[in-house]
Chains A and B, each alone.
Chain A
Amino acid sequence: MLLHLGTRKGYLALRRFGTGDWRCERTAFIGDPVSQLLPDPRDGRLYAALNLGHFGVKLRVSEDRGASFTELPAPAYAKEESSAEKAPSVDLLWCLEPAGPDPGSLWCGTIPGGLFRSDDGGRSWALNEALWNQPSRERWFGGGYPHPGIHSVLVAPDGNRVVAGVSCGGVWISEDAGESWRVRTEGMFAEYMPPEMREDPAIQDPHRLAWCDGDRRRIWCQHHNGFFRSDDGGETWTSLEVPPSSFGFAVAAHPGDPQIAWSVPLVKDECRVPVDRRMVVARTRDGGASWESVGRGLPEGDSFAVVYRHGLDIHPDEAVLAMATTTGALWISEDLGDSWDLVTSELAPVYCVRFDRP
């Protein structure tokens, strides 16, 4: 079992040798922020998205499982002749996903809100105009960043059904591989907005979406205002109370059981630390009707750890959970979250963790 990590200071791959025994097998891009990774199960390629700060976003691909990387063109907006100062430029490559069964077909969600597609393994990219040209995009806004961004793209195996999460811009669904889109946020609300905008789809701030591979009608959403569940593939949403707090960024869905999900609670948006500074994982096993705080082995106090939205992943077959923090710790659970082993606490802030998909 192999786990890929994108951190503020580079890429690491860790291999499992036994329970709690994970060893770093490979590193790359030491010193550079790695915003996203895609170990592609279709052809074994490993894509790495970098944010070089001074020198912009970059995309690299490895054909030898991370031993060496070559540069690909990163998704970019076409040059606009008018209003050049406001014309868009990609600030962050925020999510990378296979776009369907064909190897080389990819979706890339970005800040400032463009969804890009490649059908040649990242050698060329096209902005999805159907989503970019939605009139309501004018009302999207940034959540934690100056501009809005697409952080979650769920793709059905045939590639046709796509569910995209925009922070802040709602949940968008396509049934035709991105040719057309509709926004669906019924049931979601944002108490922190003016009353007349509380349920406006265009301002909803899903932090992260995850669906159950075994039943894709069940989608979990960690939202800025709370935690939501959909039973109908994202058409409508139900608000859930998650103790000790419904605020957080990350969410994981059990690959086979639609009743099981995890979140990593923080106090609230204006105080992003664990409740009582005690790090816990919230888990439901009954579809969100009830939640338990689990996390034997996690720090019992004095924790400032935040798990970013791509910082929690579950292995699709083995139900092993990996969780990594802004404080540079990597935790693994092999019992659905009851207990956690610390692999290392010496990483840079972790942006994403992804298991190698078989």
Chain B
Amino acid sequence: MPSVHFTPNLRRHLRVDSTEVEGHTVSDALSRVFRDNPDLRSYVLDDQGRLRTHVVIYVDGRAVRDRTELGDAVGEGAEIHVMQALSGG
């Protein structure tokens, strides 16, 4: 199963744990994570379900291309990392 990891910076705001979930796309995998942790959803996605502007998701080291529908495919043993883009001061 794909595994999903989150930037530790999210732990300042709410509980997040790395987890293994079923799923063939990024959207599938995240939906399962959010089912168990619904508050997390609005930290990663905007009102329309798009990836937030300053959040990036890597699948096996490659940034996802579909930031609107999150349709990028994930393989059986994929490593999905939800990270924040660097900005601010």
Contacts and interface: CB of A to CB of B under 8 A. Distances in A.
A305 interface: no
B48 A71 contact: no
Given A53-B54, A54-B84, A85 B68 contact: yes
Contact of A89 (B9, B39, B48, B54): B48
A76 B52 contact: no
B47 A71 contact: no
Interface string B1-31: 0000000011001100000000000000000
B88 A53 contact: yes
A85 B50 CA distance: 8
A84 B84 contact: no
Interface string A60-95: 000000000001011011111000110111100000
A358 interface: no
B52 A84 contact: no
Given A74-B42, A76-B42, A84-B68, A54 B52 contact: yes
With most chain B CB atoms within 10 A of its CB, the pick from A54, A71, A80, A87 is A54
Band of interface residues on A: 20 to 34
B48 A80 contact: yes
A71 B41 CA distance: 13
B47 to A, nearest CB: 4
Contact of B85 (A54, A56, A84, A88): A54
Interface residues of B, number: 22
A79 B47 contact: yes
Contacts of B42: 55-56, 58, 73-74, 76
> Which label, helix, strand, loop or mixed, suits the secondary structure of the B interface?
loop
Given A84-B50, A89-B48, A56 B43 contact: yes
B64 interface: no
Contacts of B52: 54-56
Contacts of B43: 52, 55-56
Nearest to B7: A54
28 contacts: A52-B13, A52-B43, A53-B54, A53-B87, A53-B88, A54-B9, A54-B55, A54-B84, A54-B85, A54-B87, A55-B10, A55-B42, A55-B55, A55-B84, A56-B43, A56-B46, A56-B52, A58-B13, A58-B42, A71-B39, A76-B42, A77-B48, A79-B48, A84-B48, A85-B50, A87-B48, A88-B47, A90-B47
Given A52-B43, A53-B54, A56-B42, 6 more contacts: A54-B52, A54-B85, A58-B13, A71-B39, A84-B68, A90-B47
